[in-house]
Structures are given as structure tokens and as C-alpha cells.
A and B are shown apart, each in its own frame.
Chain A
Amino acid sequence: MIKFIIRRLILLIPVLVGVSIIAFLMLHLAPGDPAELLAGLEASAEDVAALRVRFGLDKPLFIQYFMFLKGLFDGSLISLKYEMPAASVIIPRIFNTLKLACASIVVAVAVGTVAGILSAVRRHSIVDYLSTTMALLGVSMPVFWWGLVLIMIFSVYLMWLPSGGMGGLRYLVLPAIVLGTSSAGVIARMTRSSMMEILRQDYITTAKSKGLPSRIVIYRHALRNALIPTVTVVGLEFGYMLAGAVLTETVFSWPGVGRLIVDSIMARDYPVVQASLLLVAGLFVLVNLGVDVLYAFLDPRIRYD
């Protein structure tokens, strides 16, 4: 197992190199000149040229790429927009994003698995219809609309929770619910279908034939098997939360990395975009590694050596 983890961590290197090249090329081949944007509308051609030299934008592409790599390692990477080290721009944002993603995945897993289990155990009952309808709604509701609805109810009318910004746990509640809603729907559907599949298996009949209480049959015998496919989905959803929370972050003015990337693309802040993408890609790979490790814990048939 340890060997497997090390091997996967080594594999991370080519993945990151690939991501960095793609991100680098995409940005540099896209139209728009950061120097012009930075200099402003009234700047003279000389001003722009000076900025270009200052940030090394006049050098050939591959030199710029290696300067970027060097900057990543020695911390000399500078944000073009904020004119400060890219690390101090990105790191706090990454932590904010992780905080939101973790809270959201907890919400999504808790709501999704419980709804999925109830649905499967009492299929074709009111509970099942309610929960499958909610799951469908959750998956298809636009984040913007759902976020605003919650703000209307809990911030404007009830005044229980803040409508945006960062602070204590109270600030986390609404964004975590909004970001977790569609994942909860996806997880609920997955749990329901895998649970129903497992409840038909012969070993469930065996478990019942031993005289085990149905609580044990469901949680010990069925759920552990049903969670195996669910874990994959949870991993994927968590990955999307790391990178794709822009809308939620915008609605709740949450200073996460998703908004940072979008803003930086607008400003052609190449170093920040590239470094952020690299970090997010690295986290994505680590999450997948975590999922594979979890697999081995849930399913003794899986061995990684």
C-alpha cells in the first residue's frame, strides 16, 4: 500500500508538467496582452514596452515557460495584477476554497447517503419519491438562483445567516449548502441505485437467513458494499468543488481560488492563473489518490501491489 502511494505520488510529476505546459500555452496563445491591460488606456507605447520587459513578456515562449517554472520553485513568481508574490495571492485563496469544499462535501455526503439509503430500503414509498425528486431538483437547480433563494430566506427575511463574505462558521453555512446541493443529488442517486443492486445479492439473503436484525443487514452487509461505487462519485464531486465553485464564490463573495482564476484570466495575470491551475490539478490528483486508498479499505478484494 505504501509502495502504491509512493508510486502514485511520483506519477504526479508528469501530470503536473503536462498541466503546466497546457495552461501556459492556452494562456499565451489566447488573444490579449497583459502589459496593455496593466498599463491602462492612457499609457504610451513606451510605457507598455517597458512593462513588457519588466515582466519578461518580450522573451521567447519557452524562455518564459522556464522562467515560470523557476519562479514556482524559488518563490520569485510575481502576480502581474497585484504586483506581489503569486504565492501570497494564491495560498490564502486555496485555503478558503478547501474550507468551502470540505464543508460542502460533508453536507453532500451526509444528505446524499442518508437519502439514498432511505430510498433504496423503502423503495416506491413516499420517502423514496420525495428523495428522488429532491435529488433531481438538486442536480438541476442553477447555483445562482438557489444561492439567491437561500439568501432571501435566511439572510433577508429571517436574518439568521450572513449573505456573504468570510468569518466564522456562520458564513460557511449557506455557501456550503449551495455548493453541496448538486453533489448531494448525485450521491443520493448513486447510493440508491448501488444499494438496491446490493440488496438483491445472495449474501444479503444469507445475512437475513442467519437471523440478523435488518438494521445490521442494511448497515453492515449492504451499505459497505454499496459505498464502494459511491466513493468514486464523492471523489469526483470533491474535485469539481475545488475548481468549479466560481458561481457559488461569486454569489456569496467568497474569496476562493475559482474566482481568483477567473479574475486573473480577465486581467491576463498569467503567473497567477498558471500557478493556481497547477495547484488545483495537484489537489485533484491527490483527492483521486485518497479515493483509491479508501477503496482498499472498503473492499478487501482490491490490492495495490
Chain B
Amino acid sequence: MEPLLEVKDLATYFYTDEGIIKALDGISFSINEGEILGLVGETGCGKSVTATSIMGLIPSPPGKIVRGSILFKGKDLLSLSEQQMRRIRGKDIAMIFQDPASSLNPVLRVGFQVAEAIWAHLKTPIREAMLKAVELFGLVNIPDPHTAVNRYPHQLSGGMKQRVMIAMALSLNPKLLIADEPTTALDVSIQAQILSLIKILQRDYGSSVLLISHDLGVISTMAHRVAVMYSGLIVEQGRVEGLFQSPLHPYTQGLLAAIPRVDEDISELAVIEGTLPNPINPPAGCRFHPRCPWAMEICKSKRPAFKAVKPYHEVACYAYAD
């Protein structure tokens, strides 16, 4: 079966005064129908840029997609006109963002902001679309939806705002939902509620989800498959069970070892030495080699290719190049 979304060799650069930031430098992954793909990596590795590249919302200037393709239902989104892309945005591919506090327009009623998405695609009169918004608010468990639609963002809590964002994203029953750190800005107690809401709705609607997080815990409970990103590249991907049980890439191993476990002493927490490389002048070869305990001579000059080491489990690392 053909995947719903197939990203191939995608590279997005930002041309800044300091130099060219290679935020994405050739990433490839795919998402199947009804699948949740988790995208993990440290802050600054390019997760949000991946999301905005798919949405066609890279700010330009300074940003530019310099190569690759983004096939959605077999059609390359990068070849579409702005007009055509706009018909896909919000309808076929919808997105929710990290910070619900800043993602809603402060001067418009939240119900209107949802209704507007419906209007944009179906030309439903706003009055009717508002009724749909009430329905959606009920679906995402916002109490008293009739009153809530008439509220302004500042009158709602963070969790409620994120529910509004989810209602907005689901309003047109999108095939793909991109959730960029949907719970990072929320209280721990609210996080679980929002995540389970996304999971339930994903199952009921049969949508696919690109779930972005720097939190491996979130990914392991939510995703079917995982892609691990490091400095603008994907270094490992596979099914959640396999990847979490036996991570292959030394970076993934480091990330997993850094998760505090209830049954372990916190003080023995392992951390990967060093920091994310400067995206303007990334190291040649494998970008992880300066921090890698296994670094070899070849790692310093040539970028490793992806290799399926096990079924459904691929890694880009010379340690597995028999």
C-alpha cells in the first residue's frame, strides 16, 4: 500500500546574515494511513521546520526548501501553487502547535476561529459553521460548549485552548494531523488528557498523525513508529517496540539512557556528552561523530546511508555496515 505521506530527501535552509542554516539536510520518512509517527530529537534539531515545510509555511525569506519532495497521496506538495496548497492546508493536513497561549488570535472569539476554518474550505456561512464549532467543542470535551464558543482565548485555560486548537484541526476531518509538541507548554496533569484525546480522535477519525516531541515518554505511549532526528537529519527509524527495546544508533541509545526510570537511581542518569552542532557549520560526515563514543575514521568524512538492520528498523550508522 502506498503511504499517505512520503517525504524524500527534504532539505530546508535559512539564509541568514550569519550564514546558511541547514535546518533540514535531506530527511526521508513516510507515514501510512491511520498511523502515528513520532518524531523525536533535541530542541533545535529541525522538528518544527519539518512540520512547517510539509504545511508549506516556511517563512520566505529567509527560509527555502532547496531539494526533495513531499508526496501527499502521491502528489508532490512542493509542485503546487500557493492557491492549491491553501486548499490542502487545514482540510487535508491540519496542524496543532506547541503553545496554545500564543496560537489563538487574542481578539477573536474561539468559536469563530474554529468556524472560520470550516468557512475557508466549505464556504459554509459563519452562523452555520458556529453550530458545527459547538459540536466540535463537545467532541473535544470542552465543558458547556454553547458558552465556550463565545469566549475569547484569554478567558480559557491552557488546556482548554489546546482543546480548541484540536477542535479547529479536526473540523474538516483531515487525513493527516501534525501535532508539534502539543503538550510541552501544558501542566503535567493536563498533558495526559490532551494526549489521550488525540489518540482517541485519531482512532475514531482514522487520521494519520505526525507527533512531534522531544519527550520519549510521550512518543513511546502514543506512536506506532518513531523517527529520531539529529541536527537536521534522521538517524534512526523503526517501530516503537523494536526501537525502544534495542536502539541501534548511539545517539538514540544515549537519549534512552537519559530517561530517568522509576526503578533506577536518578543520580546515575546518563547524558550524552556535548551539544547539538552549529547548524551553519555542521560537522562533515556523520553529524553525530564529535559526540559519538564509537566514532571511526570514515564517520568524519562521509555521511552514512540508511540501512535496514532488522525488519522495520533502519539506522544511518557505520557501526552496522558489515
Contact = CB atoms under 8 A, between A and B. Distances in A.
Query: Are A and B part of the same complex?
Result: yes
A8 interface: no
B103 A203 contact: yes
Contacts of B104: 203, 206
A216 B116 CA distance: 10
A212 B107 contact: no
B106 interface: yes
Interface stretch (B35-43, B85-93, B297-305, B308-316): B85-93
Given A205-B97, A301-B152, A211 B120 contact: yes
Contacts of A205: 52, 57, 97, 103
B168 interface: yes
A210 B154 contact: no
Contacts, number: 73
B105 interface: yes
A210 B106 contact: no
B105 A203 contact: yes
Given A209-B55, A211-B91, A213-B86, A301 B154 contact: yes
B226 interface: no
Interface string A182-219: 00000000000000000001110111111111001000
Contacts of A208: 57, 89
Contacts of A225: 105-107
B93 to A, nearest CB: 9
Contacts of B94: 209-210
A210 B120 contact: yes
B215 interface: no
A81 interface: no
B117 interface: yes
Interface residues of B, number: 29
Interface residues of A, number: 21
Contact of B103 (A202, A220, A300): A202
B96 to A, nearest CB: 9
B120 A201 contact: no
B95 A209 contact: yes
A202 to B, nearest CB: 4
B108 interface: yes
Contacts of A47: none
A36 to B, nearest CB: 60
A299 interface: yes
A224 interface: yes
Nearest to A204: B105
Interface in B111-170: 113, 116-117, 120-121, 152, 154, 165, 168
B102 interface: yes
Instruction: Give the secondary structure class of A's interface.
Output: helix
A52 interface: no
Contacts of A211: 86-91, 117, 120-121
A103 interface: no
Contacts of B120: 210-213, 216
Interface in A256-305: 298-301
A279 to B, nearest CB: 35
A205 to B, nearest CB: 6
Contact of B102 (A202, A210, A301): A202
B99 interface: yes
Given A202-B99, A301-B152, A210 B105 contact: no
Nearest to A225: B107
Given A201-B102, A202-B99, A209 B89 contact: yes
A299 B103 contact: no
Interface string B49-79: 0001001010000000000000000000000
B262 to A, nearest CB: 35
Given A205-B97, A210-B168, 5 more contacts: A203-B106, A206-B97, A206-B113, A206-B168, A211-B121
Q: Which 9 residue pairs spanning A and B have beta carbons closest together?
A: A211-B90, A210-B90, A211-B89, A202-B102, A210-B117, A203-B105, A300-B152, A209-B95, A206-B103
20 contacts: A202-B97, A202-B102, A202-B103, A203-B103, A203-B105, A205-B52, A206-B97, A206-B168, A209-B55, A210-B90, A210-B117, A210-B120, A211-B88, A212-B86, A212-B116, A212-B120, A213-B86, A220-B108, A298-B107, A300-B154
